[in-house]
Protein backbone atom coordinates (compact mmCIF):
# COMPACT_ATOMS: atom_id res chain seq x y z
CA UNK A 1 0.00 0.00 0.00
CA UNK A 2 1.24 3.51 -0.76
CA UNK A 3 2.46 6.53 1.13
CA UNK A 4 -0.25 9.19 1.29
CA UNK A 5 0.58 12.89 1.42
CA UNK A 6 -2.65 14.38 2.78
CA UNK A 7 -2.44 18.07 1.89
CA UNK A 8 -4.80 20.73 3.12
CA UNK A 9 -5.63 23.46 0.60
CA UNK A 10 -4.05 26.90 0.96
CA UNK A 11 -5.54 29.93 2.63
CA UNK A 12 -8.68 31.55 1.25
CA UNK A 13 -10.72 34.46 2.51
CA UNK A 14 -13.23 32.18 4.24
CA UNK A 15 -10.43 30.70 6.35
CA UNK A 16 -8.84 34.12 6.88
CA UNK A 17 -12.07 35.78 8.01
CA UNK A 18 -13.24 32.88 10.17
CA UNK A 19 -16.16 31.63 8.08
CA UNK A 20 -17.17 28.06 7.36
CA UNK A 21 -17.02 27.52 3.60
CA UNK A 22 -18.32 23.97 3.38
CA UNK A 23 -19.35 23.19 -0.21
CA UNK A 24 -19.88 26.83 -1.25
CA UNK A 25 -18.62 27.18 -4.85
CA UNK A 26 -16.13 29.80 -6.05
CA UNK A 27 -14.09 29.92 -2.83
CA UNK A 28 -10.66 30.55 -4.33
CA UNK A 29 -7.20 30.79 -2.81
CA UNK A 30 -6.29 34.31 -1.78
CA UNK A 31 -2.86 35.79 -2.47
CA UNK A 32 -1.29 34.08 0.55
CA UNK A 33 -2.93 30.78 -0.39
CA UNK A 34 -1.52 31.00 -3.92
CA UNK A 35 1.92 31.60 -2.44
CA UNK A 36 1.47 28.62 -0.11
CA UNK A 37 0.51 26.40 -3.07
CA UNK A 38 3.58 27.52 -5.04
CA UNK A 39 5.88 26.94 -2.03
CA UNK A 40 4.34 23.52 -1.46
CA UNK A 41 4.96 22.58 -5.11
CA UNK A 42 8.57 23.71 -4.79
CA UNK A 43 9.07 21.78 -1.54
CA UNK A 44 7.70 18.55 -3.05
CA UNK A 45 9.22 18.98 -6.52
CA UNK A 46 11.80 16.22 -5.99
CA UNK A 47 9.47 13.78 -4.25
CA UNK A 48 8.72 10.69 -6.33
CA UNK A 49 5.00 11.41 -6.40
CA UNK A 50 3.15 9.15 -8.83
CA UNK A 51 -0.28 10.83 -8.77
CA UNK A 52 -2.04 13.98 -7.54
CA UNK A 53 -5.68 13.71 -6.44
CA UNK A 54 -7.93 16.56 -5.35
CA UNK A 55 -11.28 17.42 -3.88
CA UNK A 56 -13.48 19.04 -6.56
CA UNK A 57 -13.71 22.34 -4.67
CA UNK A 58 -11.77 25.24 -6.21
CA UNK A 59 -9.51 25.93 -3.23
CA UNK A 60 -8.26 22.32 -3.29
CA UNK A 61 -7.85 22.18 -7.07
CA UNK A 62 -5.93 25.48 -7.04
CA UNK A 63 -3.59 24.06 -4.39
CA UNK A 64 -3.07 20.82 -6.34
CA UNK A 65 -2.44 22.49 -9.72
CA UNK A 66 1.08 23.94 -9.12
CA UNK A 67 2.26 20.64 -7.64
CA UNK A 68 0.87 18.60 -10.52
CA UNK A 69 2.39 21.00 -13.04
CA UNK A 70 5.78 20.84 -11.32
CA UNK A 71 5.66 17.02 -11.42
CA UNK A 72 4.28 16.78 -14.97
CA UNK A 73 1.09 15.09 -13.75
CA UNK A 74 -2.63 15.71 -14.18
CA UNK A 75 -4.81 16.56 -11.18
CA UNK A 76 -7.33 13.75 -10.77
CA UNK A 77 -10.57 15.06 -9.26
CA UNK A 78 -12.23 12.73 -6.74
CA UNK A 79 -15.66 13.84 -5.42
CA UNK A 80 -15.24 11.61 -2.37
CA UNK A 81 -12.44 13.90 -1.10
CA UNK A 82 -14.78 16.90 -0.79
CA UNK A 83 -15.14 18.90 2.43
CA UNK A 84 -17.58 17.82 5.13
CA UNK A 85 -21.13 18.70 4.10
CA UNK A 86 -21.98 21.38 6.67
CA UNK A 87 -25.39 22.11 5.14
CA UNK A 88 -27.06 25.23 6.56
CA UNK A 89 -23.89 26.23 8.41
CA UNK A 90 -22.05 27.00 5.15
CA UNK A 91 -21.03 30.65 4.98
CA UNK A 92 -21.62 31.29 8.70
CA UNK A 93 -19.02 32.91 10.93
CA UNK A 94 -17.27 30.56 13.34
CA UNK A 95 -17.64 33.24 16.02
CA UNK A 96 -21.44 32.93 15.76
CA UNK A 97 -21.38 29.15 15.50
CA UNK A 98 -19.31 28.86 18.69
CA UNK A 99 -22.21 30.45 20.60
CA UNK A 100 -24.64 27.73 19.55
CA UNK A 101 -25.31 24.89 22.02
CA UNK A 102 -24.57 22.41 19.20
CA UNK A 103 -20.98 23.66 19.00
CA UNK A 104 -20.09 21.76 22.19
CA UNK A 105 -21.25 18.54 20.49
CA UNK A 106 -19.16 19.34 17.39
CA UNK A 107 -16.07 19.77 19.56
CA UNK A 108 -16.59 17.13 22.25
CA UNK A 109 -18.82 14.41 20.77
CA UNK A 110 -18.72 14.88 16.99
CA UNK A 111 -19.77 11.28 16.37
CA UNK A 112 -23.23 12.29 17.63
CA UNK A 113 -23.59 15.35 15.41
CA UNK A 114 -25.20 15.90 12.03
CA UNK A 115 -24.94 19.30 10.37
CA UNK A 116 -28.42 20.76 9.75
CA UNK A 117 -29.14 19.93 6.12
CA UNK A 118 -25.72 18.27 5.81
CA UNK A 119 -23.90 15.10 6.71
CA UNK A 120 -22.72 13.60 9.99
CA UNK A 121 -19.06 13.20 10.85
CA UNK A 122 -19.60 9.43 10.86
CA UNK A 123 -20.90 9.55 7.27
CA UNK A 124 -18.10 11.89 6.22
CA UNK A 125 -15.41 9.64 7.69
CA UNK A 126 -16.90 6.54 6.03
CA UNK A 127 -17.04 8.34 2.66
CA UNK A 128 -13.42 9.47 2.95
CA UNK A 129 -12.07 6.08 4.00
CA UNK A 130 -13.89 4.42 1.12
CA UNK A 131 -12.35 6.95 -1.29
CA UNK A 132 -8.84 6.55 0.12
CA UNK A 133 -9.04 2.76 0.00
CA UNK A 134 -10.15 2.95 -3.64
CA UNK A 135 -7.26 5.30 -4.50
CA UNK A 136 -4.73 3.18 -2.56
CA UNK A 137 -5.71 0.01 -4.43
CA UNK A 138 -4.82 1.72 -7.72
CA UNK A 139 -1.18 2.13 -6.62
CA UNK A 140 1.77 -0.12 -5.94
CA UNK A 141 3.27 -0.50 -2.47
CA UNK A 142 5.61 2.35 -1.50
CA UNK A 143 4.38 4.67 -4.26
CA UNK A 144 3.88 8.21 -3.03
CA UNK A 145 0.60 9.91 -3.88
CA UNK A 146 -0.56 13.44 -3.08
CA UNK A 147 -4.15 13.99 -1.99
CA UNK A 148 -5.38 17.58 -1.62
CA UNK A 149 -8.43 17.96 0.59
CA UNK A 150 -9.67 19.91 3.61
CA UNK A 151 -9.00 20.21 7.33
CA UNK A 152 -11.75 18.03 8.82
CA UNK A 153 -11.45 15.33 6.16
CA UNK A 154 -7.70 15.04 6.74
CA UNK A 155 -8.16 14.90 10.50
CA UNK A 156 -10.97 12.34 10.16
CA UNK A 157 -8.80 10.15 7.93
CA UNK A 158 -5.80 10.44 10.24
CA UNK A 159 -7.92 9.54 13.27
CA UNK A 160 -9.38 6.52 11.46
CA UNK A 161 -6.07 5.11 10.29
CA UNK A 162 -4.44 5.64 13.69
CA UNK A 163 -7.32 3.88 15.43
CA UNK A 164 -8.37 7.01 17.32
CA UNK A 165 -12.01 7.35 18.33
CA UNK A 166 -13.81 9.72 15.98
CA UNK A 167 -14.67 11.87 19.00
CA UNK A 168 -10.96 12.72 19.36
CA UNK A 169 -10.33 13.87 15.78
CA UNK A 170 -10.70 17.55 16.71
CA UNK A 171 -7.52 17.21 18.82
CA UNK A 172 -5.41 16.91 15.66
CA UNK A 173 -3.97 19.95 13.87
CA UNK A 174 -4.28 20.69 10.16
CA UNK A 175 -3.06 24.10 9.03
CA UNK A 176 -3.51 25.52 5.53
CA UNK A 177 -1.06 24.02 3.00
CA UNK A 178 0.16 21.47 5.57
CA UNK A 179 1.14 17.87 4.82
CA UNK A 180 0.21 14.83 6.88
CA UNK A 181 1.99 11.68 5.72
CA UNK A 182 0.58 8.20 6.29
CA UNK A 183 1.90 4.88 5.05
CA UNK A 184 -0.82 2.32 4.49
CA UNK A 185 0.72 -1.11 4.83
CA UNK A 186 -0.70 -4.61 4.88
CA UNK A 187 0.48 -4.96 8.47
CA UNK A 188 -0.75 -1.59 9.68
CA UNK A 189 -0.48 2.14 9.22
CA UNK A 190 2.40 4.47 10.00
CA UNK A 191 2.17 8.21 10.66
CA UNK A 192 5.33 9.84 9.35
CA UNK A 193 4.32 13.51 9.48
CA UNK A 194 1.43 15.41 11.02
CA UNK A 195 0.52 18.98 10.03
CA UNK A 196 3.97 19.58 8.50
CA UNK A 197 4.47 22.96 6.83
Q: Edge-to-edge, what's the strand order for the sheet holding 49-54? A: 75-77, 49-54, 144-149, 3-8, 179-185, 188-196
- Let me know if 93 is a catalytic residue: no
Per-position DSSP letters for 109-164, written without gaps between them: -GGG-B-TTS-BHHHHHHHHHHHHHHHHHTS-TT-EEEEEE-HHHHHHHHHHHHT-
Q: Single out the catalytic residue among 23, 28, 42, 83.
A: 83
Select which of 9, 11, 62, 150 is catalytic: 9
**Is 83 tagged catalytic?**
yes
Tell me if 179 sits within 8 A of 7, measured CB to CB. yes
Instruction: Tell me the catalytic residues.
Output: 9, 83
Amino acid sequence: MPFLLLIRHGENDYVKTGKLAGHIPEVHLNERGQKQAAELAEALANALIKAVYSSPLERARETAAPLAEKLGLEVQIRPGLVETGVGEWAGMELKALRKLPEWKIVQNAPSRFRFPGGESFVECQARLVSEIESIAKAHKPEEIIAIVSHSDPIKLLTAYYLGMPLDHFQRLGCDTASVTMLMLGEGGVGLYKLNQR
